[in-house]
Amino acid sequence: PIELPLQAALPPCETLGPEFARVRALSATLTEGLDAEDQALQSMPDASPTKWHLAHTSWFFETLLLRPHAAGYHAHDARYALLFNSYYEALGPRHPRPQRGMLSRPTLAEVWAYRRHVDAAVQHFIECASPAAWSAAAPILALGLQHEQQHQELMLTDLLHAFSLNPLAPAWRGGVVPASGTAEPLRWHGLDPGLVEIGHDGAGFAFDNELPRHRVFVAPFELANRLVSNADYRDFIDDGGYRRPALWLSDGWALAQAQGWHAPPYWQPDDDGGWRQFTLHGLQAIDPAAPVCHLSAYEAAAYAAWAGARLPTEFEWETAARHSSTDASMTRYQLDRMLPQPSPGLLGEAWQWTSSAYAPYPGFRPLAGPAAEYNGKFMVNQLVLRGGSCATPPGHARVSYRNFFPAAARWQFSGLRLARDAR
Amino acid sequence: PIELPLQAALPPCETLGPEFARVRALSATLTEGLDAEDQALQSMPDASPTKWHLAHTSWFFETLLLRPHAAGYHAHDARYALLFNSYYEALGPRHPRPQRGMLSRPTLAEVWAYRRHVDAAVQHFIECASPAAWSAAAPILALGLQHEQQHQELMLTDLLHAFSLNPLAPAWRGGVVPASGTAEPLRWHGLDPGLVEIGHDGAGFAFDNELPRHRVFVAPFELANRLVSNADYRDFIDDGGYRRPALWLSDGWALAQAQGWHAPPYWQPDDDGGWRQFTLHGLQAIDPAAPVCHLSAYEAAAYAAWAGARLPTEFEWETAARHSSTDASMTRYQLDRMLPQPSPGLLGEAWQWTSSAYAPYPGFRPLAGPAAEYNGKFMVNQLVLRGGSCATPPGHARVSYRNFFPAAARWQFSGLRLARDAR
Amino acid sequence: PIELPLQAALPPCETLGPEFARVRALSATLTEGLDAEDQALQSMPDASPTKWHLAHTSWFFETLLLRPHAAGYHAHDARYALLFNSYYEALGPRHPRPQRGMLSRPTLAEVWAYRRHVDAAVQHFIECASPAAWSAAAPILALGLQHEQQHQELMLTDLLHAFSLNPLAPAWRGGVVPASGTAEPLRWHGLDPGLVEIGHDGAGFAFDNELPRHRVFVAPFELANRLVSNADYRDFIDDGGYRRPALWLSDGWALAQAQGWHAPPYWQPDDDGGWRQFTLHGLQAIDPAAPVCHLSAYEAAAYAAWAGARLPTEFEWETAARHSSTDASMTRYQLDRMLPQPSPGLLGEAWQWTSSAYAPYPGFRPLAGPAAEYNGKFMVNQLVLRGGSCATPPGHARVSYRNFFPAAARWQFSGLRLARDAR
Amino acid sequence: PIELPLQAALPPCETLGPEFARVRALSATLTEGLDAEDQALQSMPDASPTKWHLAHTSWFFETLLLRPHAAGYHAHDARYALLFNSYYEALGPRHPRPQRGMLSRPTLAEVWAYRRHVDAAVQHFIECASPAAWSAAAPILALGLQHEQQHQELMLTDLLHAFSLNPLAPAWRGGVVPASGTAEPLRWHGLDPGLVEIGHDGAGFAFDNELPRHRVFVAPFELANRLVSNADYRDFIDDGGYRRPALWLSDGWALAQAQGWHAPPYWQPDDDGGWRQFTLHGLQAIDPAAPVCHLSAYEAAAYAAWAGARLPTEFEWETAARHSSTDASMTRYQLDRMLPQPSPGLLGEAWQWTSSAYAPYPGFRPLAGPAAEYNGKFMVNQLVLRGGSCATPPGHARVSYRNFFPAAARWQFSGLRLARDAR
Ligand SMILES: [Fe+3]
Ligand SMILES: [Fe+3]
Ligand SMILES: [Fe+3]
Ligand SMILES: [Fe+3]
C-alpha cells in the first residue's frame, strides 16, 4: 500500500469531492478555444501535447487511486497504461516521451471520454468509499489534484512553446494586453535570519520534497522588493549582457553561444529597433514594468552578476517569504492576462530561479509505492525555483513549494528576484 | 514566363477541367475517415502531415498557375506562401521542413477553405482564360496535376509511417485483407537490347527528368518475371540475410547495424515465431505471395546478392518494360487493398529499386522558371526506382517514369525485381 | 593587479623556490616511460594530452605571473597564448578544447623547451623580485603550484582513459599489483554536529571556493568507516544493481541505458565469469578490499540506495573529517601503485562523491583579475567530491578541499563513502 | 584461393622485386621531416594517421600475401590483425575507424619494425617462391603495391587536413612555392564518340572496378582544354557563387549553409581582402593559374552551373582521354611542389569530379576471397573522379582509373574540368 504521510489530518470527502470537480474543470477551461490539432502538438521532448496532459492526469487517478483502492473499477482502456504513464518505471513500460505528439489516437474526443470515465469513478469512490478505503486513498486523491494543477501550468507553457514555432503566431486567448503601469523602484530588504526552520510546517498538503522541516543556518542577506522587470532586463541586453562572458556561468555561456541567444526566447525584434514578445495572447508589446520571464537560470545569473547582485538561495527566499508582510497566498489567475504583472508579493507572477540545486532535505524520504518516483529521482542537475507564476493555479503554490528545472530551461514562466550579501 | 516543353500538343481545356476535378477529388477521398489530428502528424523530417500535403498541392497551383497567369487572382492568405512552399528557393523563404507538424494553424478546416478557394479559381481560369493565357498556363496545370498525384502517394506512405509509431496500430482503412494466393515460380526473361532509346517518347505528359530521349547501349541481361515476394524475403531473413556483411553494400551494413535492422521496417514478430506486417489496413498477416515492400535499396541489393542476382539498371528496366507483352498501364488502385499484390505486369504494386543513380539524361534541361527546381537539383545521392506502386494513382506512372529516393529510404512502397547478366 | 587574498601571510621566497622546483619536477616524473605519441593523445573533449598539460601549466605561470610581474620577461612563443589557454575568456581566444589532440606541433621537445624557459624565468623571479613585486606575485606563484598539482592528477586520469581505448592495453607503469589484503568490516560512526564552521580556516593555501568560512547546520548523521570496496560493489552488480531503475536517479538511469553501463568503466569480464580492471598498471585482477573507483555520481548514488544508505553532503564529510582521529594528511603517493588501496583515513585513495551540488559558499568572492574564472564560473551542474585520491599529489588535498565534476564523469579516481541519517 | 584475373600475364619476379622496394621506399620518403606526433594525428573519422597507413599497408601484404602463400611465415604481432584491418569484414574484427588516432602503441618505431619484418618476408617470398606459389600470389603482390600507392596519396591528404587544424599552420615541406605563370585561355574540344569501349583494355594492372571493358553510347559533347583555375574560381566566389542556391544541388546547398562554406576549405582570407591557401607547404599565396582543388562535388557542380557548363560523365572523360594527343602518363611528382600546377594533359594535378555515380560496370565481378571487399561494396552514394592528382604516385593513375568519394568530400586534391553538350 502506498504510504503518503503528507498531511496531519485526512481531508474529509465533503471537501475533496467539490475540490476534485473544481480542479478537473479548470483543465477543461484551459483548452477552450483550442482545436484538436492545437492540443496534439509536441514541440520538443520536454513538452507534451495538451491532450496528453489531459489523459495523463486521468491516468494518474486511475492508476494510483482507482485500480488499487476502488473495488470493482474497470479500466477504461487497458492500452492507456502504456500510453499515458509519464516516467514511472515501477508502473511498467511507457510510450517514448519524444513521441507523445505521434498519438493522434486516441483522439481528443476519446481522451475526453476517458476523462469522463475517470471523473465518474472518482466521484463515485469519494461518495461511497469505506472508511478504510478512504483513509488509504484520500492522500492519493489529494496528491492527484496537486498533480493535475502542476500539469495545468505545463499545459500552458508547453502550448506557448509550440505556438511560438508557428509563423502565424497563434494566440491561446486573443486581444491586446494593456501595459501595467510603472514598476516600483528597486529597494533592498535586509534580513538576518540565523538558524531557521525550512520546509513545510505540517498544515495542509505538501509534496515529499518539502519535507522534513529542518534547520538551516542563513547568514544576513538582502532581497529585492520586486522581480526584475522587462525594462531592467532590456538595460542588460543594451549593455551587452549577451556578449560579455565574464557575466556568465561557463555552461551558460557555451549554450548561449551555441544557440545564438541574444534576448529571452520569446522576444522578437520589432521594426523600430525595439522588441515585442510572443505570449499566450499572441505577439504583444513588451510591458516594461512587468517581470521578465522565460529566462534560463544562466540568463538570470548573468543578469544578477551584471546588476552587482546574485540569485538568492532557496533558503533565503523561503525565510524572506515567511517574514513577508504581504499575503503569501497568490490570488491573481486571469485567463485574459496569462503573463506576469508587477506585484508587491513574494509569491506569484514568475517563478524565481534560486542558486540552490534541487536536493533532498536532510532526512528526506520519498513516498512509498510508485509515488516514490514522483520527486526523488530528479534530485540532481536541476535548480530550485520558488514562488509560483501567473500560470500556477490558485491555491497550488506556497512558501515551502519547490519547483525545479534544469538551468537551461527557458519555456517556463521563470524570472528572478535579486539578492545580495548584507552590507 | 515558365517554359514547359513537356508535351507536343497543349491539352484542351475540355480535358483538363474534368481531370483537375477528378485529381483534386481523390485527395479528399484519401483523407476520409481520418481525424484532423491524424492529418497533422509529422513523424520524421522526410514526411509531411496529410494536411500539409493538401495545402502544398494547392499552393503549387496558386503560385505557379494562378498568380502569374490568372488575371485578378487574389491570394487566399498571403502568409501561406511561406508555410506551404516545400523547397523552392526562388519562391522565397520557407517554413522549416522538420516543423511542418507544428502547424496546428491553419487548421484542417482552414486548409480545406484554401483548397476550395484554389479549386474555384483554377476552374474559373480553365473556363475563361484567353487563348494566350491558356497556351502559357496549360502545361503548368498539367504539371500541377501530376504533382498532386505524387503527393497523393506520399500522403499514404507518410501516414503509414506516422501510424506505425502509435502503439494502438491505427488503420487508415480497416478490415482483414485476405491473402493473395500462390506466387508465380521465378522465371527469367532474357533480352539482348543493344543500342536502345531511353526516355519519354513525346506522347502525353512527362517530367523533365524523363527527357531528352537518348540512346543507351544495354548489354544482354535477364529479368525476373515477377517481384520478389514476402515468402522469398522471409527465406533471406531465415538464411541470416541481416547478419552476413558479405551480402551488403558497406553503407547499408553500417546503417543496418546502427539501427538494428533485422526485417523490413513494418514487420513485427508475432507470437508464433513468425511475422506480421503493419499496413494501411492495420496489422495484417504476412501475405507470402505478395511483393515484399518498404525495403531500402540496401536491403534490396543484399537480397539480390543473396539470390545470386543483382538489381537491374533503370535502362534495363525501361527496355524490358517496352518489350513487355503485358499492358504497361496500371489499373489496380483499390482503397481497400492498399498494399502490393502479385501481378504479371512490369508496372505497379511496388516501386522497384534499380542500381542506377538518379542523374540527368544527356542533354537534360530543367524547366524554366521556378519549376526548374522541381527535379534537377536532387540529381545526386539518390537511386532511381521504376514501375509505380499500389499507391500510385491511376494514370500517373509510365514506362519512362523515374522515381528517386536515397538508398536508405524505407517508408515507400519499394521492393525489387531481380536481374542478372545473360548467361 | 590580481588580488589573491588566499593566505594570511605571504610565503617567503626561500620556501617557494624549492617548492616550485619540486612540483615542476613531479610533472616530469609522471611522464617517464611515455613516448611522445602517448603524450599527444586526447581521447575525449573532457581530457587533454599529457603534453598539453605540461604546456598549459607553464602558460599559467607565464601569463599570470611572469607577464604582469616579472620585469623584462619575454614570452617564449607569442603563439602559445592561444594554444595553451584553457578556458580564460578574459585572456583572449583559445584553441578549441576538443582539438587539443591535433597539436602535434609544438612537439613534445618544444614543449619541454617552453617549460625550461618558464622554469628559469620563475626561478629568476623568485630570487630577484623586488619586495613589492614579490608581495604582489607570491600568491599567484602559490596558486600556480596548486594548479600544476591539479593537472598532475588529470595527466594520469586522462592518460588512463586514452590508454583504455587501445586494444593493446598499454600500461603507464608495468608490473603486477598485489592484492591489498582484507577490507575492514563496515562500521558506522555517528556524529551530531549542529551548527558548525565549514570552509578553510586561514592557515596555508586554499582555493577561493573553500572560502569564506561560514556556519552550516548539520543534523545528526552516521558515516562509514571506510570507502566502498570493489567486493562491495561486485555484490551490487551481482544483485542486479545495473538493472533496477528504482535504485537510480532518473538522469543516471537514462544515461546508463543509453550507454549500456553494467559495471565501472574500466572493469572487463574475464574468462572465468569474473572481472578484471584496466589500470595505469595495465590489466589487473580486481582487488576486492580496495576502494572501488571510476564511478559516476549516478553509480555511487545507486550503490548507496542499494545499501540502504546515501551519499554524505559535503558538510557532513568536512565535519567528520575535522573530527577524525586519523591524520588528515595524505601520505601515500606511490608511482608503482597508482590505484586505490584500503585506508583508515578520511582522506586519500579515491575522491568521494557527495550529494552536494557545487555552489558558492555564502559570501563567496572570486579572485580578482583573470583568476576570477578559476573556479566560480563552474558553480552549476556539478557535484562536490571530497578527500583526494591515490593520484592527488602529496600536500595538495585538505579537509576543506572541494573537487567538482558533473555527475556523469567516470574517468576520475572517484568512489564513495556511505552515509545515513542518525537512527 | 584468391582469384585475381587482373592481368593477362603474370609479372615476373625480376620486375616485382625492385618495384616492391621502390614503392615501399616512397612511403618512407613521404614521412621524412615528420615527428612521431605528426604521424599519429587523426583529424576526422575519414582520415587516418600516417603511422596507421604505414602499418595498414604492411598488414595488407601480411594478410593477403604472406599468411596464405608464404610457407613458414610468422606474423610479426598477432594483435596487429585487429588494429590494422581497415574494413574487411571477412578478415575479422577491426579497431573502430574513428579511434585510429588513439593508437599511440604500437609506436612509430614499432610500426617501422613491423614494416621491416614484412618487407623482408615479401622480398624473401619474391626470391624463393615456388612457381605455383608465385603464380597464385603475384597478382596479390601487384595489388598490394597499387594499394600502397593509394595510401601514399591519402597519407598526404590526411596529413594536410590534420595540419590545417593547427593554428601554427605546420608545413609538411617548407618553402615558398612560386606562382606558376599564366593559365591557358579556356577552349573547348568537341568530340562525337558514339558507341565506345569503356574500361581497362587488358594491358597491365587494373582494379576490378575498371572491368569489364564494355560498350557505352556517348553523345557529342565538348570538354575544356584545362582544369578550372584558382582565378576562375575566385570569380565564382566574387560573383556570389556561395550565396546563390539556384547554382547548387539541393544536398550541396544544405550542407554549405549548415557548415558555413564560402570558399574552398583551405582558403583563408588574407589581410588585403584576398585569399591565401593552406597547403602541404604551409600558407601560400593563391596561385591564380593553378587548378583549384579541395572542392566537394557540390562546389564543382555549382561552379560548372555558374559557368554555363556541367561536369563530364566518367565516360565522356575516358573517351576524351583516349583521344587526347597529350601523353596520358603522369610524370610530375615533386615533393617540393605538392600542389596542382597548370598542365596541358588530361591526367594529373587534380582529381576531376564527374557527374557519374560510382557503380559497377555491366558484368562487374569483384575479386574472389577477401579482396572482394576492396571496391565493390562501396558502389553507392559516391561519385567517380578521374585523372589523378599531384599527389598520385607516378605510374599509378591511368585512363581507365576510377577514384571515388562522396560528393561532400573536400580533403582530396579534387578539382574539375568543364564539359558541355555539343552545340
Ligand atoms: Fe505527471
Ligand atoms: Fe511538392
Ligand atoms: Fe588549468
Ligand atoms: Fe587500404
DSSP B104-129: --S-HHHHHHHHHHHHHHHHHHHHH-
pLDDT of residue C28: 98
Residue A330: which pLDDT band, with cuts at 50, 70 and 90? low
Cα(B151) to centroid(ligand 2), Å: 7
Tell me phi and psi for residue D217, to 5 degrees: -90, 125
CA C169, chain centre distance (Å): 23
Cβ neighbours of residue D104 under 8 Å, at least 6 residues apart?
Answer: C35, C37, C38, C40, C41, C162, C166, C170, D40
pLDDT of residue B200: 96
B245-280 burial by CB neighbour count: b if 16+ within 10 A, else e? bebbbbbbbebbeeeebebbbbbeeeeeeebbbbbb
Q: Please determine, for residue A126, whether its predicted confidence score (pLDDT) is greater than 90.
A: yes
**What is the DSSP secondary-structure string of D155-218?**
HHHHHHHHHHTSTT---SS-SPPPP--PPPPP-EEEE--EEEEES--SSS---GGG-S-EEEEE
Cβ neighbours of residue A290 under 8 Å, at least 6 residues apart?
Answer: A179, A180, A229, A230, A339, A340, A341, A342
Provide the grid cell at A220.
544576513
Q: Please determine, for residue D148, whether its predicted confidence score (pLDDT) is greater than 90.
A: yes
pLDDT of residue C3: 43
Between CA D127 and CA D134 the distance in angstroms is 10
Cα(D53) to centroid(ligand 4), Å: 8
B348-382 burial by CB neighbour count: b if 16+ within 10 A, else e? bbbbbbbbbbbbbbbebebbebbbbbbbbbbbbbb
pLDDT of residue C175: 84
- Compute the CA torsion angle B354, B358, B361, B362 (nearest 10 deg): -110
Chain A residues contacting B via beta carbons under 8 Å: 35-38, 40-41, 43, 51, 79, 82-83, 95, 99, 101-108, 162, 165-168, 170
Inter-chain CB proximity D252 and B217 less than 8 Å = no
Cβ neighbours of residue A238 under 8 Å, at least 6 residues apart?
Answer: none
Residue D226: which pLDDT band, with cuts at 50, 70 and 90? very high
Nearest to D276 by CA among D398, D177, D205: D177
Q: Please determine, for residue D8, whether its predicted confidence score (pLDDT) is greater than 60.
A: no
pLDDT of residue D114: 98
Residue with cell string 516543423:
B99
pLDDT of residue B16: 87
pLDDT of residue B2: 41
Which one-letter amino acid corresponds to residue D246?
A: A
Query: Do residues B368 and B311 lie in contact, with contact meaning Cβ atoms separated by under 8 Å?
Result: no
Between CA C109 and CA D261 the distance in angstroms is 36
Residue to substitute from B209, B298, B377, interface D, most D β-carbons within 10 A: B377
Residue to substitute from B41, B83, B84, B105, interface A, most A β-carbons within 10 A: B105
Q: What is the mean pLDDT of chain D?
A: 94
The mean pLDDT value for D218-239 works out to 98
Provide the grid cell at A296.
534560463
Residue A10: which pLDDT band, with cuts at 50, 70 and 90? low
Tens digit of each residue's pLDDT (9 = 90 or more) over D329-354: 567 899 999 999 999 999 999 999 99
Provide the grid cell at B366.
530543367
Quick check: bond before B106 cis, omega within 30?
Answer: yes
Cβ neighbours of residue A374 under 8 Å, at least 6 residues apart?
Answer: A143, A207, A208, A366, A367
Provide the grid cell at D157.
591528404
Q: Please determine, for residue A6, whether its predicted confidence score (pLDDT) is greater than 80.
A: no
What is the arrangement of strands in the sheet containing A419-421, beginning at the earlier edge strand? A188-191, A221-224, A419-421
Which residues of chain B make contact with A162, given a CB cutoff of 8 A? Answer: 102, 104
CB count, 10 Å around CB of A71?
10
Query: Do residues B65 and B142 lie in contact, with contact meaning Cβ atoms separated by under 8 Å?
Result: no
- For residue B101, give the chain A residue with the closest CA: A41
Query: Could you list which residues have their CB under 5 Å from ion ligand 2?
Result: B 86
Inter-chain CB proximity A380 and C253 less than 8 Å = no
pLDDT of residue A1: 34
ipTM for the whole complex: 0.96
Tens digit of each residue's pLDDT (9 = 90 or more) over B12-53: 778 889 999 999 999 999 999 999 999 999 999 999 999 999
pLDDT of residue D376: 94
The mean pLDDT value for D155-173 works out to 98
CB count, 10 Å around CB of D83?
21
Q: Please determine, for residue B406, whether its predicted confidence score (pLDDT) is greater than 80.
A: yes
Between CA A247 and CA A253 the distance in angstroms is 9
Inter-chain CB proximity A166 and B102 less than 8 Å = yes
Q: Please determine, for residue A194, whether its predicted confidence score (pLDDT) is greater than 50.
A: yes
pLDDT of residue C110: 98
Inter-chain CB proximity A102 and B43 less than 8 Å = yes
Q: What is the mean pLDDT of chain A?
A: 94
pLDDT of residue D365: 94
pLDDT of residue B273: 87
In a 3-state reduction of DSSP, which class is residue A340?
A: coil
Chain D residues contacting C via beta carbons under 8 Å: 35-38, 40-41, 43, 51, 79, 82-83, 95, 99, 101-108, 162-163, 165-168, 170
The mean pLDDT value for B363-368 works out to 92
How close D97 comes to chain C (CA, Å)? 12
**What is the DSSP secondary-structure string of B191-249?**
E--EEEEES--SSS---GGG-S-EEEEE--EEEESSPPBHHHHHHHHHTTGGG-GGGS-
Which has more pLDDT, A393 or D9? A393
Instruction: List subunits contacting chain C, requiring 3 or more Cβ pairs under 8 Å.
Output: A, D
Chain C residues contacting D via beta carbons under 8 Å: 35-38, 40-41, 43, 51, 79, 82-83, 95, 99, 101-108, 162, 165-168, 170
Between CA C149 and CA C143 the distance in angstroms is 10
Inter-chain CB proximity D40 and C43 less than 8 Å = no
**Ligand closest in space to the Cα of D155:** 4
Provide the grid cell at D87.
574494413
Residue B334: which pLDDT band, with cuts at 50, 70 and 90? very high
Chain D residues contacting B via beta carbons under 8 Å: 87, 89-90, 195, 214-217, 219, 221, 245-246, 248-253, 297-298, 301, 313, 355-357, 359-360, 362-363, 372-373, 377-381, 383, 407, 421
pLDDT of residue D329: 59
CB pairs under 8 A between A and B: 78
Share of chain D above pLDDT 70, in %: 96
Alpha helices (runs of H) in A70-189, residue ranges in sequence order: 80-83, 108-128, 131-164
Residue to substitute from C214, C217, C421, interface A, most A β-carbons within 10 A: C217
Residue to substitute from D102, D103, D278, interface C, most C β-carbons within 10 A: D102
pLDDT of residue D328: 54
**Ligand closest in space to the Cα of A371:** 1
Inter-chain CB proximity A407 and C380 less than 8 Å = yes
pTM of the model: 0.96
Tens digit of each residue's pLDDT (9 = 90 or more) over A352-381: 999 999 999 999 999 988 899 999 999 999
Nearest to B171 by CA among B23, B356, B33: B33
Tell me phi and psi for residue D177, to 5 degrees: -95, 120
Among C37, C43, C82, select the one facing D37 at the smallest CB separation: C37
D311-345 burial by CB neighbour count: b if 16+ within 10 A, else e? bbbbbbbbbbbbebeeeeebeebeeebbbbbbbeb
Inter-chain CB proximity D90 and B246 less than 8 Å = yes
Q: Please determine, for residue B146, whether its predicted confidence score (pLDDT) is greater than 50.
A: yes
Q: Please determine, for residue A2, whether its predicted confidence score (pLDDT) is greater than 60.
A: no
Tens digit of each residue's pLDDT (9 = 90 or more) over D408-420: 999 999 999 999 9
Between CA C351 and CA C348 the distance in angstroms is 7
Cα(D142) to centroid(ligand 4), Å: 14
Cα(B106) to centroid(ligand 2), Å: 18
Residue B328: which pLDDT band, with cuts at 50, 70 and 90? low
Residue to substitute from D249, D310, D353, D377, interface B, most B β-carbons within 10 A: D377
Tens place of pLDDT for every residue, chain C, 423 residues?
A: 344 445 445 677 788 899 999 999 999 999 999 999 999 999 999 999 999 999 999 999 999 999 999 999 999 999 999 999 999 999 999 999 999 999 999 999 999 999 999 999 999 999 999 999 999 999 999 999 999 999 999 999 999 999 999 999 999 998 889 998 888 999 999 999 999 999 998 778 999 999 999 999 999 999 999 999 999 999 999 999 999 999 999 999 999 999 999 999 999 999 988 999 999 999 999 999 999 999 999 999 999 999 999 999 999 999 999 988 766 556 789 999 999 999 999 999 999 999 999 999 999 999 988 899 999 999 999 999 999 999 999 999 999 999 999 999 999 999 999 999 998
pLDDT of residue D183: 86
Cβ neighbours of residue B6 under 8 Å, at least 6 residues apart?
Answer: B139, B142, B143, B205, B206, B207, B208, B367
Residue A205: which pLDDT band, with cuts at 50, 70 and 90? very high
pLDDT of residue D77: 98
Q: How many residues does chain A have?
A: 423
pLDDT of residue C10: 64
How close A49 comes to chain B (CA, Å)? 11
Tens digit of each residue's pLDDT (9 = 90 or more) over D60-104: 999 999 999 999 999 999 999 999 999 999 999 999 999 999 999
Distances (CA, A) of C129 to C61, C67, C72, C121, D223: 15, 13, 12, 11, 74
How close B43 comes to chain A (CA, Å)? 7
In a 3-state reduction of DSSP, which class is residue D303?
A: helix
- What's the distance, Cα to Cα, between the start and end of chain A in Å? 52
pLDDT of residue B10: 64
Between CA D341 and CA D330 the distance in angstroms is 12
Tell me phi and psi for residue C216, to 5 degrees: -135, 140
Which one-letter amino acid corresponds to residue C330?
A: M
Query: Do residues C198 and C360 lie in contact, with contact meaning Cβ atoms separated by under 8 Å?
Result: no
pLDDT of residue C368: 87
pLDDT of residue D5: 47
Q: Please determine, for residue A4, whether its predicted confidence score (pLDDT) is greater than 90.
A: no
Provide the grid cell at D63.
594478410
Q: Say what angle helices D50-60 and D108-128 make with each other, to 10 degrees.
A: 30
Share of chain A above pLDDT 90, in %: 89
- What's the distance, Cα to Cα, between the start and end of chain C in Å? 52
Strand pairing report for A414-415 and A351-357: parallel
pLDDT of residue D15: 83
Q: Please determine, for residue D282, whether its predicted confidence score (pLDDT) is greater than 60.
A: yes
Q: Which of B171-185, C188-202, D353-367 has the lowest mean pLDDT?
A: B171-185
Residue D3: which pLDDT band, with cuts at 50, 70 and 90? very low
Q: Which of A400-404, B11-15, D367-371, D379-383 has the lowest mean pLDDT?
A: B11-15
Which has more pLDDT, D7 or C350? C350
**Ligand closest in space to the Cα of B57:** 2
Between CA D328 and CA A277 the distance in angstroms is 67
Taking CA A332 as the corner, what is the angle to CA A330 and CA A333, rounded to the nearest 5 degrees? 110
- For residue C298, give the chain A residue with the closest CA: A380
Which has more pLDDT, D31 or B332? D31
pLDDT of residue A12: 73
The mean pLDDT value for B248-253 works out to 98
